[in-house]
Amino acid sequence: MKSINTLVVNFENAYALKGLPFFQKELPGFKVVGLVARNIDLSVHTQYAQLPIYEKNLSIDNLINYSPKSDFSAPLQEYLLPFEEQIHYHVNRYFDTTLAFDYSLIRQKIIYYALDIIKNTQAGLLYFGVTPHDPLSYLLCLIGHHLGIKVVILSRCDALNSYQLYEEIGDHINYVKNAPQELDSGVVKYKHKHVESSLLALTKSEPSYMVKQKRDGGSLMKKLRYNLFVKKRVTLSGWQRYKKKKAQKNVYTDLVSISNENELKSLEKKILYFPLHFQPELTTSPDGGMFSQQWSAIKAVADNFKEGYVILVKEHPSQFLINSKHVRSELFYKGILSIGSNIKLVSLDLSSEKILKQTSGVITITGTVGFEAILNEKPVLFFGDAKYNTIRGAFNFLKEGDLAVFAQHVDGAQTFNKSEVINDFMKLAESKFYFCYDKKEAHEVRHLKAIKALLSEYQTYMYSTL
């Protein structure tokens, strides 16, 4: 079998690194020529001494002192322009820089570093163990596409307890093209059963992911871990973070106009529900594409739904956790309200379950609320790379005609039912590039199983299409 030079990117954890020998021994179609990983220690260098290994998260000092070997061409500069906001977002997130000239220098150095990695390894394929959502990984992915290098991304969907393979990121999900379907009836039956149980869990009054967030963010032990207290003393940084988060929450609460279920039911207009994403997170950057800034999506909805509609916006509870980054201020919330008089903020105490019962449609970038909406036979309008983009009842704002059909569903002119939604998910799972995992298994086990199952299939598929 032929082999393609493969650069393995985003091996962030010890369990993920254990998947590398599988590449080297059991996937002869992928010749590993380099590794990009985080927190590389001596043991990694020792274990993979034959490979060039690149640190994913270089310090600012190392970046500034980096001497590039590659040229940054004008065509590449032009190619990156549409992605500039995303690049800016990733750099600011990881390097906490707000100065324009600092950002420009760091950005250029990362691009040079990425170009040198590709040049040094002569990679013909970039494999990402997770959706690229840091500056170096994101730029490696974009540069790979520009240079015509194959890109394969292993993406996990916690809501469906599954992994899938993608060939690109951006504004449109592109599942592996012409993916062959499963032929083994036993495998199909297993996948159908798995999908059914995953969807059932999503219809519960409080999905497991929200239960986990509350547990992780609310306990005293978690607060201890997040440095509010160190050695029985309140640290200055921890106390300042606590005060900032509390003030942020108070600002939001003061701007809320829908506080309880009675006020919700008293609304005489059709309700569109937009629960905000927790940020920063890959669900909006990069998965949000041009709508990674959520206010822009709210503006787009408000421009299209005016008379007779009210848009309810609810903050993500985790945004006020002590350990989360401070990315929203009073200006953000007031800016949303200034978009239109039909936009209202909703109390954190009003559950999404109760809001969903009253809503005519749901708006999100890529959120799990989309699953919950269509399973409750409510239409969802999404703006990014949503995992339910092929499912009945889900409409892509960027796809011609979808907005109009979404509006028809909101107004009741068109409908769909839950059984159709479940059948669509079943069909999606039948692809050979869709892997179901047991959520009771350790992350290490499920991750390695996904690599083995999906990349073995992709290896066969890739060489059959050459």
The pLDDT tens digits for 408-438 are: 999 999 999 999 999 999 988 888 888 999 8
The pLDDT tens digits for 300-335 are: 999 999 999 999 999 999 888 877 776 788 899 999
The pLDDT tens digits for 348-394 are: 999 999 999 999 999 999 999 999 999 999 999 999 989 999 899 99
Domains of the chain with CATH codes: 4-180+434-464 (3.40.50), 200-427 (3.40.50)
Distance of CA 238 to the CA centre of its chain: 28
* Overall average pLDDT of the 199-227 stretch: 57
